[in-house]
Structure 1
């Protein structure tokens, strides 16, 4: 039999394909590795990422939409076993994973990975925390599961190219979430492989326009990855199966293109993606950070700038940052994905803080007028530097004829120009203190710093389940 229609492969050909070698290698690798095989610097980095994610979740949980979501989900079940972090409520595993993933992306402060072109940590952590009851998981197993989930999800992102209309949240993070859940539930080598294949099919088909328009359904995508990751493992553990090569099917043709299987195992066990991550201090899309770093440096060098003294601002940057050129965002989410607004509000507030993107800033005539005077253009030479570099050039033209300018080729907080551990911990404190108070935030930090000594997660869980100060 034959088929003459282009791009349609007969089932007889598809079904004859063997399991990909990289996937078998991954199954063996994850089954054989132990916590004692991990370098100390890797473990410390993983703890920092966990701490950073929890700070982002707790702060995002205070947003009115997230708080309302927790209440609504809580009505469906009389209690639950897993903490909605920063809400003072417990939910069932799927709902807790979902709402924690939602909360972690609300403020655009969750860590990410430039090579994966997305945010692995906030997809994996909520699922890992809900995979098994806290009394059943020791700290070392938890950290190793988190590292492995982060690793496989990030590698799928790096090995493929999502379609330009896709948002990265909710996609390959589902695979990382499922892998961590399966690992924590003692899945064997074959079950881990099956979980990867099954979870690939449960990835979301997300829309990039949501972030540009400020459609806040976008904030749910990471939550769905966490929930679907748990569901993928439940299916596999119950006997359901995935495709023989689900990752290639979805990330080589459905949601993405150009899947490169060699990338999945390149330096496996030697190069860890969680050590190539970035942390965020600007409360906006990572693509804005190069320009915002330059603006912050110009403020530090020249002092505060009066918006009325600025004639115009010119930005040259790489393609994905240049796409964020809408000057008049409709809400907080859209503002975080508007480079003109992000620059204008940073100049007015002195930093790209959480308040700098709230309703008061959106209504501030100084910011609105200044954002309209920001021009953003792509420089193809800068785009060619991706993903290793994230460059930007900024020129602030003053009404007196002076031009304040600067450029950067990296973003503060990435692997080339990292924040120190103390800076990451300071960020956590800034996010967690308003939620729980300084003493409680410090206790959470200590619990995470000593996770590798913990016989279970009960102490950490109790801290994360505590109600916020405003509810006491």
Structure 2
């Protein structure tokens, strides 16, 4: 892969770091990855399948998937919406990609904003099913592709202040997955990643709080673009050695930390630094959700919502701006701090129903949303306590209660147990895929018989209803 102009030292350093990363990552085998890391990958795999399944009844998504299914194509990969509808791998990747973030139940990388699992898995699962890839290789590729795309996110971290990570990184994640699944050599893999970097979308971060549902399909377009980025690299079509810098730093204005592209390879695996969710909203809101749940517990399990005079929240910067008091869509609700606080107060939880269409016009939730005030949390602590929330609840008559959560559960500092995530998966998938939970439990134990099976056979087992 050539470069007509090496440009600045910073640009050269990014290109050199990417080359180092590619030379290393394509040679990582299953046995090179610690078992604990592979078990974490298995949990991410089935947790994100659960996130896809959870969205099956969303009306806009159902119409999108029906539209895709109406088009002819080879039946080679499953769309996870109940039963086992199958289509060509590109279409299946797009359909699952569109579903993956709809309910805000997917996992993400806690070090910087990057929902790596859903950038990788829609494309990877489709490719693996179409090619009968052994399940152990699905885990290997998930770990190594996760490492790859999070290196991009760490190298250009500030981009997500303006552009949403689903738009900025999903094509890179998908290209990493497909390139590693197909066993590309280091140079062709680097070309595929450079292609993908030029095929990202400048999707605005502000579209989330505004409730623009187009945000939900950015992982779908990223999956398609990532697959094509690999297809074309194999044909000899490539970007430049400095394409990543040209796009993210020069083009989109991100700050740049070139050393992050290749620092400490094989040290702390990125997939072990993820967060997982039980609350169906943006992770930036989870500390506030947990604070509200703590106040609820302290008040005996039910808050006196008719007596609430005000809810004062001191929020970290990424949550402080999510101020919508009248979210227009379910996405807007999932990115509204007032809605999250009010829904927990009224419903007692932050599960999917707390952000469903019915919640938007719920009279008690609507009334409480307008009683929420938001102020900056002063003196933000260091990571992992960099997303704190302090909530003060004031009741008519003068009684007040206050609590603080520095770091929400689910991240590497306060992880959920594996059983908690498996119970979440069961709750979502049992109605349509009652065998999935048992397969997931085998997978996280790295059961040899299961890992030896081709992925298409594993999918056939857990999607069977009899």
| TM-score for the superposition, normalised by structure 1 | 0.91
Q: Superposition pairs for residues 255-274 of structure 1, below 5 Å?
A: 255-274=252-271
Secondary structure of the 2:208 match is helix
Q: Tell me if 1:434 matches 2:428.
A: no
Aligned residue number for residue 99 of structure 1:
95
- Once residues 28 and 55 of structure 1 are traced to their aligned partners in structure 2, the CA distance between those partners, rounded to angstroms, is 33
Secondary structure of the 1:212 match is coil
Give unpaired runs (5+ residues) of structure 1: 1-9
Aligned residue number for residue 193 of structure 1:
190
Q: Tell me if 1:25 matches 2:20.
A: yes
Q: Is the 8 A contact 1:444 1:460 kept in 2?
A: no
Secondary structure of the 2:314 match is strand
Secondary structure of the 1:171 match is helix
Q: Tell me if 1:278 matches 2:275.
A: yes
Aligned residue number for residue 137 of structure 1:
133
Aligned residue number for residue 77 of structure 1:
72
The structure 2 residue matched to 1:67, chosen from 56, 62, 69, is 62
Aligned residue number for residue 316 of structure 2:
318
- Once residues 14 and 117 of structure 1 are traced to their aligned partners in structure 2, the CA distance between those partners, rounded to angstroms, is 28
Q: Is the 8 A contact 2:288 2:390 kept in 1?
A: yes
- Once residues 339 and 246 of structure 1 are traced to their aligned partners in structure 2, the CA distance between those partners, rounded to angstroms, is 37
**Deviations 1:404-462 (Å, cap 9, x if unpaired)?**
1111111110111110111111111111123334x454345545654762241122222
Aligned residue number for residue 109 of structure 2:
113
State the 1:385 CA deviation: 3.7
State the 1:73 CA deviation: 0.9
CA RMSD of aligned residues (A): 2.2
Alignment: residue pair count: 457
Greater alpha carbon shift after TM alignment, 69-78 vs 37-46: 69-78
Aligned residue number for residue 148 of structure 1:
144
Q: Tell me if 1:458 matches 2:456.
A: yes
- Once residues 315 and 368 of structure 2 are traced to their aligned partners in structure 1, the CA distance between those partners, rounded to angstroms, is 19
Closer, same or farther in 2 for the Cα pair 1:419/1:444, shift >3 Å? Answer: closer
Aligned residue number for residue 348 of structure 2:
350
- Once residues 272 and 58 of structure 2 are traced to their aligned partners in structure 1, the CA distance between those partners, rounded to angstroms, is 30
**Deviations 1:5-49 (Å, cap 9, x if unpaired)?**
xxxxx9756499868221221122113221111111101111111
Q: Tell me if 1:213 matches 2:210.
A: yes
Q: Is the 8 A contact 1:148 1:176 kept in 2?
A: no
Greater alpha carbon shift after TM alignment, 88-97 vs 447-456: 447-456
The structure 1 residue matched to 2:250, chosen from 250, 253, 272, is 253
Q: Tell me if 1:234 matches 2:231.
A: yes
Aligned residue number for residue 183 of structure 1:
180
Greater alpha carbon shift after TM alignment, 342-351 vs 150-159: 150-159
Aligned residue number for residue 157 of structure 1:
153
**Deviations 1:273-320 (Å, cap 9, x if unpaired)?**
111100011111111111111111111222211211111010001111
**Deviations 1:133-172 (Å, cap 9, x if unpaired)?**
4453112221111111111111211221105331111212
- Once residues 358 and 159 of structure 1 are traced to their aligned partners in structure 2, the CA distance between those partners, rounded to angstroms, is 36
- Once residues 133 and 58 of structure 1 are traced to their aligned partners in structure 2, the CA distance between those partners, rounded to angstroms, is 17
Q: Superposition pairs for residues 292-331 of structure 1, below 5 Å?
A: 292-303=289-300, 304-331=302-329
**Deviations 1:211-259 (Å, cap 9, x if unpaired)?**
1111111100111111111111011011111111221111212234112
- Once residues 131 and 20 of structure 2 are traced to their aligned partners in structure 1, the CA distance between those partners, rounded to angstroms, is 31
Q: Is the 8 A contact 1:178 1:230 kept in 2?
A: yes
Q: Is the 8 A contact 1:116 1:155 kept in 2?
A: no
- Once residues 143 and 395 of structure 1 are traced to their aligned partners in structure 2, the CA distance between those partners, rounded to angstroms, is 44
- Once residues 224 and 340 of structure 1 are traced to their aligned partners in structure 2, the CA distance between those partners, rounded to angstroms, is 31
Aligned residue number for residue 366 of structure 2:
368
Q: Tell me if 1:39 matches 2:34.
A: yes
**Deviations 1:41-91 (Å, cap 9, x if unpaired)?**
101111111111000001112322222222211221155211001243112
